[in-house]
Amino acid sequence: MGTLEQFVDDRLIQGRATFSREEAEATLHLTQDALTAALVRLASRKRLASPRKGFFLILRPEDQTTSAPDPAQWIDPLMQALQLDYRVSLLRAAAFHGASHQAAMVFQVIVPRQLRGIELGRHRVEFLYQAPASFAKANQAEALDRIKTNAGDARVAGVELTLLDCVRYFHKAGGINTVAQVAKDIGGKAEPRRLAKLAATYETSCARRLGYLLERVGRVRQAKGLEPFAHKAKTFVPLDPSVKTVSNVLSTLVEKNARWKLLINEHVEVDF
């Protein structure tokens, strides 16, 4: 029977910087109280942190100033422990694909189940819900990429999914202007056929808004692949649904874009 500290050191030697309480129990054979006391002791020495009950991060010296490593290093084992599929997306994914204008202040993850967020030291992880059926269709291997870290890989939305997620959850991605900037920065990397195929798993309004933004920032080839979604639309929707129309009379004064069936109720600005 070893100590928890020896167990933690052995995990690091094996290249593993996370563990579950069950794994520690199976290896150490300590009583519940003894294990709890040992966990609390190592946490107080800043050798452990716990983003979820029963799941622990082993902190290296360089992690101790921020109280935890970058979530990209531990989101994959955490989601495995929760037995839940996921993808890192929105601004963190956009930065991964080359968008440089906006810093991702929150590590955002798309999941098919409601989960509360995590605050750990300087890091915030936010979970955004996508309906399970849509999630399963979108979260296919060919639509995903990997963030490689020294502690393992994290599953991240590919360029096409990143664009669609930013439009779908634009209020969590800094607003419509930030999403337009993302479209400018990485939209040219999107493969039009894959983008159109994935857009079919989202609301038609998302495809139309993304098409408009891509066209607006000069990504015409990618925008063209989304035109069929506008052709099928029967009603106009606001470009920015967070902007409230004061009255039906005023709504008639808002510019209409017939190509994308959108009410242009917000002026879009990007850096070129």
* 48 DSSP β-pair partners: 58
Distances (CA, A) of 105 to 29, 59, 90, 95, 123: 41, 21, 11, 11, 8
Please check whether residue 135 is in contact with residue 165, taking contact to mean a CB–CB distance below 8 angstroms: no
Output the tens digit of pLDDT for each of the chain's 272 residues. Answer: 579 999 999 999 888 899 999 999 999 988 999 999 999 999 999 999 999 999 999 998 888 777 888 999 999 999 999 999 999 999 999 999 999 766 678 999 999 999 999 999 889 999 999 999 999 999 999 999 999 987 789 999 999 999 999 999 999 999 999 999 999 999 999 999 999 999 999 999 999 999 999 999 999 999 999 999 999 999 999 999 888 655 444 455 678 999 999 999 888 988 87
> Does residue 255 form part of some domain?
no
- The CATH number of the domain where 54 resides is what? 1.10.10.10
Task: Quote the pTM value.
Answer: 0.91
> How are the residues of the chain apportioned to helix, strand and coil, as percentages rounded to the nearest 5?
45, 20, 35
Residues 120 and 219 in one domain: yes
Residues 210 and 127 in one domain: yes
* CA atoms within 13 A of residue 93's CA, in its CB half-sphere: 29
| pLDDT for 258 | 93
> Does residue 80 form part of some domain?
yes
Please check whether residue 104 is in contact with residue 90, taking contact to mean a CB–CB distance below 8 angstroms: yes
Residues 135 and 162 in one domain: yes
Residues 16 and 76 in one domain: no
Residues 150 and 204 in one domain: yes
Question: Could you tell me the two tokens for 75?
Answer: 């989101």
Residues 82 and 172 in one domain: yes
* 120 DSSP β-pair partners: 123
| pLDDT for 242 | 84
Where in the sequence is the domain holding 128, given as residue range(s)? 72-226
| pLDDT for 61 | 87
- Quick count: other Cβ atoms within 10 Å of Cβ 4? 22
Provide the domain count of the chain: 2
- Indicate the residue among 51, 66, 81 that finishes a domain: 66
> Does residue 264 form part of some domain?
no
- Indicate the residue among 22, 48, 66 that finishes a domain: 66
> Does residue 211 form part of some domain?
yes
